Chains A and B, each alone.
Chain A
Amino acid sequence: MSGAWLQFVAAGLTAGAIYALIALGFSIIYNTCHAINFAQGEFVMVGGMSGVSFVAMGLPLIVAVPLAVAAAMIVGLLVERLAIEPAHGNDVVTLIIVTIGVSLFLRGLAQVVWGKGIHALPAFSGTEAINFFGATIVPQSLWVIGGTVVAVVLLGLFFNRTLFGKAMQATAQNTLAARLMGIDTRVIMRVSFALAALLGALGGVLTAPITLTSAEIGIMLGLKGFAAAMLGGLGSFGGAVIGGLLLGLIEALGAGFLSSAYKDVIAFVMILVVLFFLPTGLVGARSGDRV
C-alpha cells in the first residue's frame, strides 16, 4: 500500500506545484492593486497554447518554452496597459470585473486563434515512467516540481535582494508612501502583471505535456489557483506555495482514499473549514482589516 501512498503524494505534488504557481500570480497582483485578477488562469492557457504553436512551427522545445513564456508576459503587459490602467483609480470591485472581462476576452480570442481543440506538448525529457519505491512518476512531473521550486527561489531573491523587488514590496505595503518615496507605481503595476503572467505561463508550458491544453483550460486552473491563494493567505508568497501544494495533496489523497467522485468537494470543504477558523488563510496577515 506504500506504493499507492507515494503515488497519490506524487500526483498531489505535481498538481499542487501548478496551483502554487497560479496562486503566486494571484498574490503578486493582489499586492500591487488589491484586486483579484480572474484572468490568471488565462495566462496559464496562453503559455501552454503558445508553446504548442511554437513547437508546431518547428522550433525546438528549448526555444519554444521561453518564447511561450515571453508571449504570455507580453499579453500580461497588454492586459495591464489596455484594461487595468485605464480603470485605475476606480474601486477594487471595478478592477475585478475588468479582469473577468479580460479573461472572457482572452478565452474567446484563443478559440478564434487556436481553435477549440485539445493540444499536447511533447514531454521535455521522454515519457518513460520512473519507478520510485513502488510509485511511478513521469519525468515531466519532476520538471513541473523542479520548475516551481526554481521559480519560487528566484522570486524570493527578486523580492528580497533587488531594489526593484523591494520597491514592489514597498508599493504593496503602502502605495501612497511608495509614490512619495519616488517609486513609479505604474511601472510596478505593469511589472506585477508581467510577473504574474510569467508564473502562469510557466505553469502552463510545464504541465501541458501532462495535462494537455486547450482554450478552456484556464477556467478550472484559475479557480483552483485562487482557492490555493485563499487557503494560504492572499498576498502571502509563502502562503501561496503552501496553499497550492496542500490543495493538490488534499485532492489526490481524497480521490485515492475516499472517493474520486467527491475529490473537488473534499478539497473545497477543507478550504471552507480553514477559512472559517483562519479567515486570512494559513499564513495570511493576522491584522483586523480585510478587503
Chain B
Amino acid sequence: MSLVHNVLRTLGTGSVAFTLALGAAGVKAQEPIRIGSFLAVTGPASFLGDPEEKTLKMLVDQVNAAGGVLGRKLELISYDSAGDAEKARTFTKRLIEQDKVNVLIGGSSTGETMAAVPLAEQAGVPFISLAGAVVIIEPVKKWVFKTPHTDRMACEKVFVDMKARGFSKAALISGSGGFDKSMRAECLKVAPANGIEIVADETYGAADTDMTAQLTKIKGSAAQAVLNPGFGQGPAIVTRNYKQLGLTQPLYQSHGVASKEYIKLSGDAAEGVRLPAAALLVADILPANDEQKPVVVKYTQDYKARFNSDVSTFGGHAYDGFWLAINAMKATNSTDRAKIRDGIEATKHYVGTGGIVNMSPTDHMGLDLSAFRMLEVRNGTWTLVK
C-alpha cells in the first residue's frame, strides 16, 4: 500500500512542478482542479482510510474519463497520515501551501480532522472531513464540513427505537477505544431527552477477550434493553457472551460494527441484534422506491468491479465528500476556494450514500435521523426494521 502511496506522492509533487512550469508558459486553462486528501491509508485506522482513498481514486478516474469538471481534469493529491494527528497537520499544511489544492477531503479519524481544522480555517480552504465526532461541526466552523453521521445520531436512533418498543431503562456496555468512549458520552448525554434512563454503565478494555463479568452485572440490573457502543472485535465477543449468559433483553449494537464481518464473528448469537446503519450496507434490500437506492447500488457495483472487495460505510463517506465538492464547483461554476465553500454550504437535497444532505450556515453535516436505517439480524443477514 505504501508503495502505491509513495508513487502517488511522487506523481503529486512531480505534477505540481510540471503545472508550475506550464503556468509560467501561460497555459493556465489546462491546469487541473486539485483535490487534496490526507487519509489513514496504513496503520491501525487503515480500515477507514484504505476504502476512502480507493473511493476517491475511483471517482477521480470516473469524472476525468467523462471529461472532467468545468472543462478541467481533476487531480487527486493524497497523503497517508497513518492515523497520526501530527502527520495529518503536516500534510494539510503541505496540501494548502505547496500543492495549492482547491478543496480538502480527508481526515479519516476525528483526531486527524481536528489537527487540520485550524489550518483550513486560517488559510480559507473548504475542508470536508470524513470523521465521526460531533466536535467537528459543533460549533459550526466556516470552512469545515463533514459527511459521516455523528455518534449522537446513532444513540438517538437507538433510543427512539427502544422507546417505540416500550422500553425506558437501558444499560450501556462500552469499549474503551476513541469511538466507543465518544459514543458512550454522547449516549449518556442524549438519553434523558429521549426518555431513556441508563441503569447500568459498564466498560471493557480494547483488547479484552471476555465480557461475561460486565454482562452478569447488567443481567442483575433493571435494564430492559442493552446498547453496546463499540468497535472491532469487542462487540462480537459481547454478543457471544450475551447469548452464553442467556440475557433476554434486546441487544443493540452501534453503527461501528455495521458490516457482514460482525455477523460472521458473532455467529448465531447475533440473531435478533439491532443496530443503526447507513443505507449503503443494505443496498440490495432497500425498497425500489427508495431515493438512495440508485446511488448506493451504483457505488457498490463500481467499487466491487474495480477493487473486488465489498464497500464499507467509510468509503461511502469519501464518496459523499467528493460529490459535495464537485457539485459545489458545478453549482457555482468556479473552482475558487471561497466559492466552493459557499457552494457546499448551499447544498440542498444531495442524495448520497450516507443519507440526504441539506446543508445550511448552521448545519455543516446536513443529515437527520432518517439517514440511519434500523437493521436487525435475521437468519444471519441484515433486514430492515419497519
Contact = CB atoms under 8 A, between A and B. Distances in A.
Interface in B259-284: 261, 264-265, 267-269
A264 interface: yes
Given A127-B243, A136-B244, A212 B213 contact: no
A221 B233 CA distance: 15
Determine chain B's interface SS by DSSP, over half rule: helix
Contacts of A220: 205, 207
A11 interface: yes
Interface residues of B, number: 31
B210 A256 contact: no
Interface residues of A, number: 36
B31 to A, nearest CB: 38
Contact of A14 (B210, B236, B240, B246): B210
B17 to A, nearest CB: 34
A264 B204 CA distance: 10
Nearest to B269: A127
Given A120-B265, A214-B233, A260-B202, A127 B209 contact: no
Contacts of B204: 255, 260
- A116, A118, A138 interface centre (most CB from chain B within 10 Å): A118
Interface in A107-125: 116-120
A219 interface: yes
Interface in B238-267: 240, 243-246, 261, 264-265, 267
A256 B237 CA distance: 17
Interface in A132-173: 136-138
A214 to B, nearest CB: 7
B360 interface: no
Interface in A1-31: 3-4, 7-8, 10-11, 14-15
- B204, B212, B264 interface centre (most CB from chain A within 10 Å): B212
A15 B236 contact: no
Contact of A255 (B214, B232, B269): B214
Given A127-B268, A129-B245, A256-B217, A212 B46 contact: no
B214 A212 contact: no
B139 interface: no
B220 interface: yes
Nearest to A4: B216
Nearest to B203: A261
A212 B236 contact: yes
A270 B90 CA distance: 43
B179 interface: no
A103 interface: no
A192 interface: no
B64 interface: no
B51 to A, nearest CB: 13
B205 A11 contact: no
A273 to B, nearest CB: 21
A47 to B, nearest CB: 15
Contacts of B267: 120, 127
Contact of B243 (A3, A117, A129, A219): A129
B350 interface: no
A211 B213 contact: no
Nearest to A15: B210
A219 B216 contact: no
B240 A263 contact: no
A207 interface: yes
B188 to A, nearest CB: 14
B323 interface: no
Contact of A211 (B209, B214, B269): B209
Contacts of B244: 127, 129, 136-138
Contact of A252 (B207, B213, B240, B246): B213
Given A118-B261, A212-B236, A260 B245 contact: no
Interface string A256-268: 1000110110000
B176 interface: yes
A217 interface: yes
B20 to A, nearest CB: 38
B223 to A, nearest CB: 15
A268 to B, nearest CB: 12
Contacts of B167: none
B173 to A, nearest CB: 8
A210 B244 CA distance: 11
A211 B237 contact: yes
Contacts of B236: 118, 120, 212
Contacts of B237: 210-212
Contacts of A207: 209
A3 B215 CA distance: 13
Nearest to B210: A11
Contacts of B214: 255-256, 260
B216 A256 contact: yes
A40 B264 CA distance: 28
B233 A7 contact: no
Nearest to B173: A260
A248 to B, nearest CB: 9
B46 A116 contact: yes
A10 B203 contact: no
B207 A217 contact: yes
Interface string B334-357: 000000000000000000000000
A270 B213 CA distance: 19
Nearest to A130: B244
Interface of A: 3-4, 7-8, 10-11, 14-15, 116-120, 127, 129, 136-138, 207, 210-212, 214, 216-217, 219-221, 252-253, 255-256, 260-261, 263-264
12 contacts: A8-B212, A11-B212, A118-B232, A118-B261, A127-B240, A127-B269, A129-B244, A210-B237, A212-B233, A212-B265, A252-B212, A256-B216
Q: Which 9 A-B pairs have CB atoms at the shortest separation, nearest pair first?
A: A211-B209, A220-B207, A255-B213, A256-B213, A118-B233, A129-B244, A11-B212, A261-B203, A7-B216
Given A127-B240, A252-B213, A260-B204, 8 more contacts: A4-B216, A7-B245, A116-B47, A137-B244, A212-B236, A214-B233, A260-B202, A264-B205
